[in-house]
Amino acid sequence: MPQVATHPDAERIADNLRKTTELTELGLTLRQAMLAQTHPQGQGIVQVMHEIRLAKEQAWRQGRS
């Protein structure tokens, strides 16, 4: 018979889901930045890092609310 998730387990699961969502958003942002890369060589990675930073900050803000 399956056990019902206890309160600490439910919190841990919710936290893992939030982290999974954040990593997915970061991965999609990285993919989008790479596909849309229009900068000269060497500048592309700067743009990618900028996009990742923005996505991470946005995910962090959403997680705090």
* Whether the Cβ atoms of residue 19 and residue 41 lie closer than 8 Å to each other: no
Q: What percent of the chain has a predicted confidence (pLDDT) above 90?
A: 12
Does a structural domain hold residue 2? no
Which residue intervals of 36-65 are DSSP H helices? 44-64
Domain count across the chain: 1
Name the residue range of residue 33's domain. Answer: 7-64
Average pLDDT of the segment spanning 29-49: 72
**Averaged pLDDT, 1-14:** 74
Banded pLDDT at 63 (limits 50, 70, 90): confident
The answer to whether 61 and 35 have CB atoms below 8 angstroms apart is no
Contact 56, 26 (CB under 8 A): yes
pLDDT above 60 (res 5): no
Q: Computed from CA positions of residues 21, 26, 29, 35, in that sequence, does the dihedral angle turn out positive or negative?
A: negative
pLDDT tens, residue by residue, 44-54: 677 778 888 88
> Is 11 inside any structural domain?
yes
Mean pLDDT of the chain: 80
Distance CA 21, CA 63 (A): 10
